[in-house]
Amino acid sequence: MKARLADIAVHADVSEATVSRVLNGKPGVADSTREAVLHSLDVLGYDRPSRLRRKSADLVGLIVPELTNPIFPAFAQIIETALARHQFTPVLCTQTPGGVHEDEYVQMLLDRGVAGIIYVSGQHADVTEDTDRYATLRERGLPIVLVNGYQQGIDAPFISNDDIASMELALTHLVQLGHTRIGLAIGPDRFVPVIRKIAGFRSSMHTLLGRDDVEDLIERTMFSVEGGDTAGARLLDKGCTAVVCGSDLMALGAIRAARRAGLRVPEDFSVVGYDDSPLIAFTDPPLTTVRQSVQPMAEAAVRALLDEIRGEPTPRAEYVFRPELVVRASTGAAPRR
């Protein structure tokens, strides 16, 4: 595809004249500026002039599950920026229901000769999936790093959020506000982060409230606004005064369910999200949520992959990052009955 100078100039934050000098191999351009222009060329999907084409070894695969949940674009952007600082360009592969499967993306990446792959919440997070696909890649000597979804036996470093601590933070906050009937709206329990959140919910409900009979307070649904709406309505029917959600999108759905029932948030029903996705502080009301350490997690994933590429293997372990509770206006004191 023929490059448009204006598009590249805007993305690289340089003038069109500078872009022209780089593409035509003219002198008088700083190395950092030249790299910025070439990186923008790659990211925007334009073909480099033949003399400027980089080796495929400078490409890194980045596989994310989808882009509708704002947390995944946030991971992708930080990973892309961190890779660019080391002259690597990510090849972004996005999975969608019924779309290209992770294995098909991997074959495409292998055909392009990528130097390594970073997976964010990929098939590795699904306990029903076969992990032999990752063993096959390691046997080929391809460096890989996996984010969120630790499973033993995979020969790769893992970067994870502390899902159990996430539940402890959210529930402690709600209990301190006087809530005792607290629900959990969560996704399918075949995923490692979901399994861990459920375990953390059970543990914290026992520790904080002395409750062990919490199964009726757990609603498994889809990671979407609609899933949160459905789960929120069911938990309201069960008399819950608060809910902890598995994602910010689910939390928005739970708020919608409360309003449809004629309830106010947080006066009648408190809602806690998960991720602290971009713009979530500007919802109505601004959402209390558990913030993943996206920046340090993404940067750690890139560091681990670069070490693997350089032949300095990272220890085969799970590196767990502590989350943070961000209190806003969607949680309040438990209503008096």
What is the number of domains present in the chain? 3
Other CB atoms within a 10 A radius of the CB of residue 113 amount to: 11
pLDDT at 71: 93
Host domain of residue 35: 1-53
Domain-embedded: residue 199: yes
Residues 136, 169, single domain; the answer is no
pLDDT at 32: 84
> For residues 225 and 12, which has the higher predicted lDDT (pLDDT)?
225
Residues 278, 301, single domain; the answer is no
Query: Does the pLDDT value for residue 53 go beyond 60?
Result: no
Domain-embedded: residue 333: no
- How many residues are recorded in the chain? 337
> Of 56-60, 190-194, 251-255, 273-277, where does mean pLDDT reach its minimum?
56-60
Query: Does the pLDDT value for residue 315 go beyond 70?
Result: yes
Looking at the chain, the whole-number percentage of residues with pLDDT higher than 90 is 72
Domain-embedded: residue 17: yes
pLDDT tens track for 92-151? 999 877 778 899 999 999 888 899 999 999 999 999 999 999 999 999 899 999 999 999
Secondary structure (DSSP) of 74-102: HHHHHHHHHHHTTT-EEEEEE--TTS--H
pLDDT tens track for 199-213? 999 999 999 999 999
Looking up residue 29, the CATH number of its domain turns out to be: 1.10.260.40
Question: Quick one: residue 170, left, alpha or beta (phi over 0 = left, psi -120 to 50 = alpha)?
Answer: alpha
Domain-embedded: residue 336: no
Query: Does the pLDDT value for residue 51 go beyond 80?
Result: no
Domain-embedded: residue 334: no
Looking up residue 100, the CATH number of its domain turns out to be: 3.40.50.2300
pLDDT, averaged across the chain: 92
Domain-embedded: residue 156: yes
Is 7 within 8 Å of 44 (Cβ atoms)? yes
pLDDT at 45: 72
pLDDT at 28: 84
Domain-embedded: residue 44: yes
Closest CA to 166 of 65, 254, 251, 292: 292
For residues 166-191, one letter each, b for 16 or more C-beta atoms within 10 angstroms of the residue's C-beta and e for the rest, the string is bbbbbbebbbebebebbbbbbbeeeb
pLDDT tens track for 143-193? 999 999 999 999 999 999 999 999 999 999 999 999 999 999 999 999 999
Domain-embedded: residue 112: yes
Q: Which residues pair with 64 in a beta bridge?
A: 94
Residues 181, 274, single domain; the answer is yes
Residues 81, 153, single domain; the answer is yes
